Amino acid sequence: MLALATPPAAMAPSASSGPDTAPSSPPGTPFVQLDGVGLSYGGPQGLKALNNTNMAIEKGRFIAVVGPSGCGKSSLMKLVTGLQPPTQGSVSVNGAKVNGPLKIVGMAFQNPSLLPWRPLLSNVMLPLEIVQPHRSRLRANKAEYLAKARALLETVGLQEFETKFPWMLSGGMQQRANLCRSLIHDPDLLMLDEPFGALDAFTREELWGVLQEVWMERRFTCILVTHDLREAAYLADTIYVMSARPGTIIARHEVDLPRPRTVDTTFEPRFVDLVHTIRSEIAQVRNEAKKAAKAGATKAGTTEQKAS
Amino acid sequence: MTASKRRWLERLAPWIVTIGLLVIWQVVVVAFRIEPFIMPSPSAIFDAFVQYRDSILIHAWQTMVSTLLGFSLGIVVGLLLGIFIGSSRLVYAGLYPVLIGFNSVPKVAMVPVLVLWLGIGQPTAVVTAFLLCFFPIAVNVATGLATVEPELEDVLRSLGASKTDLLIKVGLPRAMPYFFASLKVAITLAFVGAVISETLASNDGIGYLMIQASSQFRVPLMFAGLAVIAAMGVVTYVVFAVIERRVTGWAVRGQNMSISGGGG
């Protein structure tokens, strides 16, 4: 069972559950678990980014987190990876409480942030120079790792560009390489923070396909933070909807569309309905947030500009 | 055709400008019959250089050695200081105002103090050169380290990277363009430092030669000294510019090298 606290009455429109997409791992043991997690910046009086957030993600699932801007989605990423300790509640990954930065997570952000002084292949292999046990094995087993990196580049269609420098490539190509870099060390957990946010619509849809293919092959646990509802519905098994700040989870939707999904899937009525439902939920939260802001103009209004 | 012509012109431009200026200078001096002890002509300066070339070269070598020693010291200290400042916010907050204050002190004013400590001669010249040149190196390295993208830092930290890993894999390479840019400034400052110190407290070096020539009203010789300093400055600058282009070519993105094609 995926546990979830039920704040307000917004749980109602959950679509249905999709057992066909679940991997073989035994149910009931969440890989990532958030218990009553809260996060405030700048002390207890400071800006509250997250409030009483509960999540339980099973191993091998693809999760998407959507919500209005500034709802603390990115804070959620930092909490799960241990880059930021929660001010309330606890986060545990793989059965162990998260106390400091996790050491094996793959991460990719909207900004590809490749190293401009390294050619593509060496950029992709960067994590191998840091993560154990690869770090100490890298020099002796160079050929093996090179082959692995090349194979990964091939799956995203970049095999011809391994000697090119990042600034020679288009944004879409850089983002593919970024994805390769986040996967090269076979992470159990992949965190994606709006990875395709800066790309044009066609490239974005193409990369959804690429990501889905890689995920179906390897079945790592993936948490995708996005504001693109179609992206969430295309990629995820489960979509969590967050409220406006202080963010908390207000709804959960299982996406039981069969895989592999294609761009055509996004035009099916079921897909459209799902996106529509989530959109109206978010619209509602936004309106409520606006009203609340007006009501408590002096208090809430001042913190409005600061995003997560 | 026109592109290659333009490239030739670009390569020749510094020579054309230099020679043009010298010709104008010569013409002005000859046409207005300016006395050599006020403003010698380029040809007179060249004659002076040929006449005194042995002693000029000995002194120039002395200056060069002092400069390079001070400069090397400046690189080491500047680099370490830059890493120190750039990698810790606390150190930055504590040390930066002090450094700014120190850098505002005219280094000429420090030469008498250095003479008191190190005596007259080369050590003082080396230290003066060092004092003038380490600051831009430190500031630039610190800036380079500070410009590392926070996302990249997050990516690496979530892989278990230590502070040293971050510094070696990302921070230092990122700071290299800044470092080399500062070297080009620092080497000329090192020359200034060495020559200042030699004019005030030395029995060797181009600076000393200049003071001697000045006291004997050998103005062409003074100008020959200036020309030699300028030439040494240009040569060392070019050396570092070439090294910079070799090491940090990635930072100068050639327009004609990029590949177009969306997503492709």
Reduced to 3 states, what is the DSSP secondary structure of residue A109? strand
Whether residues B264 and A172 touch (CB distance < 8 A) is answered with yes
C-alpha–C-alpha distance, residues A260 and A235, integer Å: 9
**pLDDT at residue number B122:** 92
pLDDT value of residue B69: 96
How many Å lie between the alpha carbon of B174 and the closest alpha carbon of chain A? 8
Confidence tier at A157 by pLDDT (50, 70, 90): confident
Q: Is B93 exposed, middle or buried (0-12, 13-18, 19+ CB in 10 A)?
A: exposed
So what's the pLDDT on residue A297? 64
Are residue B100 and residue B167 in the same domain, yes or no? Answer: yes
Q: Are both B91 and B205 inside the same structural domain?
A: yes
Contact A265, A230 (CB under 8 A): no
Q: How far is CA A201 from CA A191, B2, B39, in A?
A: 22, 41, 70
In this structure, the answer to whether residues B93 and B193 fall within a common structural domain is yes
Contacts of B259 in chain A (CB under 8 A): 161, 164, 168-170
B170 touches chain A (CB under 8 A): yes
- Whether residue B64 lies inside any domain: the answer is yes
Do B130 and B172 belong together in one domain? yes
Q: What is the pLDDT of residue B264?
A: 31
pLDDT at residue number B1: 59
Number of other residues whose CB lies within 10 A of the CB of residue B153: 16
Chain B hits for A206, Cβ within 8 Å: 263
pLDDT in the model for residue B57: 92
- Among A17-31, A75-89, B209-223, the minimum mean pLDDT is found in A17-31
Q: Using CB atoms and an 8 Å cut-off, which of residues 37-96 of chain A contact chain B?
A: 78, 81-83
pLDDT at A222: 94
Which pLDDT belongs to residue A298? 54
Find the domain containing B18 and state its range: 1-33
Indicate the length of chain B as a whole number: 264
Chain B residue with Cα closest to A161: B259
**Domain assignment of residue B264, yes or no:** no
Is the distance from CB of A217 to CB of A162 less than 8 angstroms?
A: no
User: Is cis: bond before A133, omega within 30 of 0?
Assistant: yes
Please, which residues 240-279 of chain A have a Cβ atom closer than 8 Å to chain B? none
A223 or B2, which is more confident: A223
The reported pLDDT for the residue numbered A299 is 52
Nearest CA in chain A to B250: A117
Say yes or no: B11 and B89 in one domain: no
Interface of B with A in 124-153 (CB under 8 A): 149, 151-152
Q: Which residues of A touch B264 (CB under 8 A)?
A: 170, 172-173
Percent of chain A clearing pLDDT 70 (strictly above): 86
Q: Tell which residue, A306, A177, A229, has the closest CA to residue A65.
A: A229
For residue B263, being part of any structural domain is answered with no
For residues B26 and B61, state if they share a domain.
no
Asked if the structure places residue B112 within a domain, the reply is: yes
Contacts of B246 in chain A (CB under 8 A): none
Of A126, A161, A206, the CB nearest to B263: A206
Question: Which of A196-200, A227-231, B49-53 bottoms out in mean pLDDT, i.e. has the lowest?
Answer: A196-200
ipTM, two decimals, is 0.72
The yes-or-no verdict on residue A5 having pLDDT over 50 is no
Check whether residue B11 and residue B123 sit in a common domain: no
Q: Would you call A195 exposed, middle or buried from its count of C-beta atoms within 10 A (0-12, 13-18, 19+)?
A: buried
* Cβ-Cβ contacts under 8 Å, B158 against chain A: 81-83, 101-103, 105-107, 191
User: Are residues A130 and B250, on separate chains, in Cβ contact within 8 Å?
Assistant: no
Crossing angle between the packed helical segments B205-215 and B53-87, to the nearest 10 degrees: 130
> Does the pLDDT at position A1 exceed 80?
no
Closest chain B residue to the Cα of A156, Cα to Cα? B264
CB contact burial B168-182 (16+ within 10 A = b; e otherwise): ebbbbbbbbbbbbbb
Q: Report the residue of chain B nearest A118, measured CA to CA.
A: B250
For residue A160, what is the nearest residue in chain B, using CA coordinates?
B264
Residue with more model confidence, B214 or A308? B214
What is the domain class of A1-105+188-303 according to CATH? alpha beta
Q: Can you say whether the dihedral through the CA atoms of A83, A79, A116, B149 is positive or negative?
A: negative
With a cut of 60, say whether residue B261 has pLDDT above it. no
Percent of chain B with pLDDT over 70: 95
Instruction: Note whether B103 and B25 are same-domain residues.
Output: no
CB pairs under 8 A between A and B: 92
Task: Tell me: pLDDT of B193 over 90.
Answer: yes
Q: Is A117's CB within 8 Å of B160's CB? A: no
Do both B27 and B103 map to the same domain? no
The answer to whether residue B129 sits within a structural domain is yes
Alpha carbon of B2: minimum distance to chain A alpha carbons (Å): 26
| Average pLDDT of chain A to the nearest whole number | 81
B162 with B83, same domain? yes
Q: Which residue of A has its CA nearest to B253?
A: A167
In a domain, B256, yes or no: no
Residue B29, pLDDT > 90, answer yes
Residue B88: per-residue pLDDT: 82
A303 min Cα distance to partner chain B (Å): 23
**CB within 8 Å of chain A, chain B residues 230-259:** 248, 250-251, 253, 257-259
Q: Are residues B4 and B102 in the same domain?
A: no
Give the C-alpha separation, A150 to A283, whole Å: 44
Is B91 contained in some domain? yes
* pLDDT at position A112 over 90: no
Q: How many domains does chain B have?
A: 2
What is the per-residue pLDDT across A269-298, written as a single tens digit (0 to 9) for each?
Answer: 989 999 999 999 888 888 887 887 787 665
CB A148 within 8 A of CB A183: no
Q: Is A199 on the interface with B (CB under 8 A)?
A: yes
Please state the domain extents for chain A.
1-105+188-303, 115-186
Instruction: Let me know if residue B258 belongs to a domain.
Output: no
Looking at the fold, whether B122 and B209 belong to one and the same domain comes out as yes
Chain B residue with Cα closest to A81? B158
Q: What integer best gives the mean pLDDT of chain B? A: 88
User: Residue A87 in contact with residue A48, Cβ under 8 Å?
Assistant: no
| Amino acid identity, position B30 | V
- B59-109 per-position pLDDT tens digit: 999 999 999 999 999 999 999 999 998 888 888 888 888 888 988 988 888
